Structure 1
Amino acid sequence: MSHWLPASPCTPPGCAVHAGPARRPVPAAALLLAGCALTLAGVLCAPLALSLTGGARRERLVRCWAHAVLRVFGVGVRITGPPAVRGGAAGGRAGTPGVLVVANHVSWLDIPLVAAVCPGRMLAKSDIRRWPVLGPLAALGGTLFVERERLRSLPATVRSLASALHGGARVVVFPEGSTWCGRGPGGRFRPAAFQAAIDAGAAVQPLRIRYLGGPPDHRAPAGAAAFVGDDPLAASLWRVVRAAGLTAEIRVLAPIPAGAVPGRRELARLAQSTVASDSANLPAASVHH
């Protein structure tokens, strides 16, 4: 098993189950069509937006669009914590390094959710490039693709990440390397991307993601959002639009300054513990033993 192919115990039958109120098929189908249409509109309009708007205005546009995508798919959004760290190309001082944004990984919904807070260049597995609608959108947005099956591609990927960060870009990575259902501590943060942050002298911005369902006075982690194991994308899309009352919550955590710890493994452990400690008060225990 290579470092690019970590395993998760989560499976669709065991984890991706919606136990709360459900929408009827017709309203759910309407949400699905609207969500796909808005996503496709983003693909078609991305080249025009990139050519007509400046960096700050483009970032606001991406945040608004990503927020709208979640809402149109029927998912509420809750953002907590202080403003995210801004790198050189994201509104910081010219010539300053970018920021490595890291988060736990639950679902394909994580991508627009993170973009609604701090848009950046994503690191994603090469399979996503072939996804309908989302694949072309990811490529247009400057996604850095990695062939996870080829361990020999790791050094080149780290160099690409470091180059983007050194140029002032904000780069988004899900260092668990696989999705987890969100009802447990999650996976270990892999250290490779953190080496890129060290090489570029970039800060690390941790984020905590979770999806909640149920009544407002008794919110609990929602399995409907989990996109785990061999779950087909179409099945996950349908499960999300059928789930009524689904809320995506993202918390911006304290940034880790460049040079805070000496090595990539120490930096990965610090980022992981920062995200994990924020989940200590989750209302439901892990389903994995």
Structure 2
Amino acid sequence: MATAEAAPALIRFAVRAAAIFGALLVCVPLHYLWPLLGRRSPWPRRFLGMVGRIAGMRVRVRGTPLTSHVLFAANHLSWLDIMLVAGASGAAFVSRDDVARWPVFGWLARLNDTVFVDRSDRRAVQGQVDTLRAALAGGQPVALFPEGTTEGGTGLLPFRASLFSALFPPLPGVRVQPVAIDYGAPGSEIAWTDSEAAGANARRILSRRGTVPVTLHFLAPLDPGALGGRKAVAAAARAEIEAVLRPSAAGADRL
């Protein structure tokens, strides 16, 4: 029985992996062609969105993502989160520096203007903050996962206020837009924790049967200046996301 089940899973993995490779072959030449036409390349982000769809994710967007001068703050379950949010919003990401060393995806992350954060080197923090501030001030949509990890699974861990340091002193016109990523019931199967190797998780997701409806909730933007500090921004963004993902718990917290 196990062998009979393994064969279709292997076929699904092979077909999806081939489709991702095919999308890469299409998007990479177009990425390098676009600057020759005097235009900013949308192809890294489009490719990331394609990967999410090939992996079986079917995205529905609720709310309107801001298009510039915005820091998206989203909950974090899986590497798929990057594909889905980038595909829907065109955002670059703030990511752990080790992602830069991942095969293929590290290269794609660099093409997508990812801001890599080395949390082990405190001396580099100010330079990273300055890089993020420059991106935001220039209008680049940027996204981050304030939990800093996927270890929370379908739960919602505390948001790290330090990740919002680049917002202060406040930048003119820059807003924080919370994003609630809702995989529904399959979320427990999608979630990726440190107990599972990256390659094993990718194989499992790409071998999965069927599709997963995912809702991206782009919530009301927050004004960092009006909130007054990074801790207040982190708390407000988390509360907005929790109100969507766990409405009963969020309501109880307000009582």
TM-score when normalising by structure 2: 0.83
Of 136-145 and 27-36, the range deviating more from structure 2 = 27-36
2:79: which partner in 1?
108
Change (3 A) 1:268 1:222: closer
Q: Say what the alpha-carbon RMSD is for the aligned residues.
A: 2.4
2:202: which partner in 1?
237
The code of the aligned residue for 1:267 comes to V
Question: Which ranges in structure 1 are unaligned for 5 or more consecutive residues?
Answer: 1-21, 88-97, 213-219, 283-289
- Native 8 Å contact 1:99 1:171 kept in 2: yes
Given candidates 194, 214, 235, the residue that maps to 1:269 is 235
Q: Following the alignment from structure 2 to structure 1, what is the Cα–Cα distance between the partners of residues 115 and 46?
A: 22
Given candidates 224, 244, 254, the residue that maps to 1:278 is 244
The code of the aligned residue for 1:119 comes to G
The runs of at least 4 aligned residues of structure 1 exceeding 6 Å deviation read: none
Question: Which ranges in structure 2 are unaligned for 5 or more consecutive residues?
Answer: 1-6, 249-255
Q: Following the alignment from structure 1 to structure 2, what is the Cα–Cα distance between the partners of residues 266 and 54?
A: 38
Structure with bigger RCO (C-alpha 8 Å, 6+ apart): 1
2:183: which partner in 1?
211
1:164 aligns with 2:164: no
Q: Following the alignment from structure 1 to structure 2, what is the Cα–Cα distance between the partners of residues 148 and 254?
A: 29
1:95-122 alpha-carbon deviations (Å, 9 max, x no partner): xxx1111101111111110111211221
TM-score when normalising by structure 1: 0.74
Q: Following the alignment from structure 1 to structure 2, what is the Cα–Cα distance between the partners of residues 62 and 140?
A: 6
Q: Following the alignment from structure 1 to structure 2, what is the Cα–Cα distance between the partners of residues 73 and 53?
A: 32
Q: Counterparts of 1:15-164 in structure 2 under 5 Å?
A: 24-39=9-24, 41-43=26-28, 45-52=30-37, 54-55=39-40, 58-59=41-42, 64-80=46-62, 82-87=63-68, 98-164=69-135
Give the structure with the higher percent helix.
2
Instruction: Tell me how many residue pairs correspond in the alignment.
Output: 239
2:225: which partner in 1?
259
1:187 aligns with 2:168: no
Shift of 1:230: 4.2
Shift of 1:78: 2.1
1:227 aligns with 2:192: yes
Shift of 1:273: 0.9
Identity over aligned pairs, percent: 32
1:196-248 alpha-carbon deviations (Å, 9 max, x no partner): 12332310011011323xxxxxxx14333222214222211111122223233
1:178 aligns with 2:149: yes
1:250 aligns with 2:250: no
- Native 8 Å contact 2:44 2:112 kept in 1: no
Shift of 1:143: 0.9
